Amino acid sequence: MINKNIKLHTPSLIIDKSCLLKNIKTMSKYASRNNISIRPHAKSHKMSNIAKIQLENGAVGVCVATLYEAEIMIKNKIKGVLLTTPITNHHDKERLNKLIKLSKTFMMVIDNSISIKYLNSLARNNINKVNVLVDCDIMKVGSNKISRTGVQSIKEIINIANQIQNNKNMNYKGITAYAGDIQHINNYNQRKIETTIRHTHLKKIINSLKQNNLFPKIISGGGTGSHDLDTKSNLYTELQPGSYIYSDVEYDKVSIYKSIPNPYSPGLFIATSIISIIDKNNFIIDAGLKALSTDSKLLPVPLGKKLLGSKYSFMGDEHGKITLHKNSKTKPMLGETVFIQPTHCDPTVNLYNNCKIISNKKIHDIWNIDARGYL
């Protein structure tokens, strides 16, 4: 993965640049072939550098999950920023007002009538109107029936959309409909069953809006796991995949497409050092709970010929353990740098201030994870 003579502090976050570019181009070509737009979710990388690459490869903008992510993207001249989390804190009005002034293409979501008053109060004296999408809850249907954000009833969706359209300080842009709970259903056919239920509900929402002269220009949603099924539904105008840019252990197990292998290659790793040897099969590394996300049921995966078939275990805040396969013939050395693939890329990236960009087995650059945190 990297030249052994290169100095690399551990633990470090590593991105394989060739893999990153390949994955971005693969999704871009998919979107072009299927005549659908991509507004990738920047919460996966939290880097304006990567957002710029995505826009250079055909993305219409980026989605963000936090107000701070929106601020960093807009500060770095990223167009088409969509804030997918409703903002309701009165102390955030000044920050929102500034974003609306700075970017005519900035958009945000709401899921209740009270938020219309909230946005109207800050937009009243702004030179730009607020671009608003109605967040629709499509996770309330299906097996899990998990509600997070989003308007639940079609009647209320129409009511809110109508209020936005009739507000002189707002632009009604459309709707968002994202089902986060289906992204990691590994089997394509099982995921299709769940996705179809969501699509049936979404179609009713769209038809009801059209019947009430509230045609949504933008219908945004979908993720890395569901984007192919979402595209084939012919309901969405744009997709919001995030993790496709470098994948992770969880997505390696997802059959994203029905008849072809997953084309999105792993490109995100943690460089870590062997700091202690317990015995001939067990080695301690300097990457524990503070270096790798722990929200998955799966465990991070050690990489490389020496660690083929080995297992990783969390051993505390700063430590992890690598247990070699019983048939392993080669052993890592004390002080040796080894690489771990994280199970969930988004929260792992959020643990670091910067990442090393690897190209041709050398450190090509260091990119700040500039949208990390909450200000």
The residues near 339 (Cβ < 8 Å, ≥ 6 apart) are 1, 14, 269, 270, 271, 272, 302, 303, 304
Domains and CATH numbers, the chain: 20-246 (3.20.20.10)
Residues composing the chain: 375
- Determine contact, residues 253/186, Cβ cutoff 8 Å: yes
DSSP lists the bridge partners of residue 67 as: none
219: which 2 tokens? 């219908």
* Confidence (pLDDT) at 298: 97
- Determine contact, residues 169/129, Cβ cutoff 8 Å: yes
Which residues in the chain come in under a pLDDT of 50?
none
Query: CA 300, 301, 305: angle at the middle one, nearest 5?
Result: 160
Rounded to whole angstroms, the Cα distance separating 282 from 350 reads 29
DSSP lists the bridge partners of residue 109 as: 133
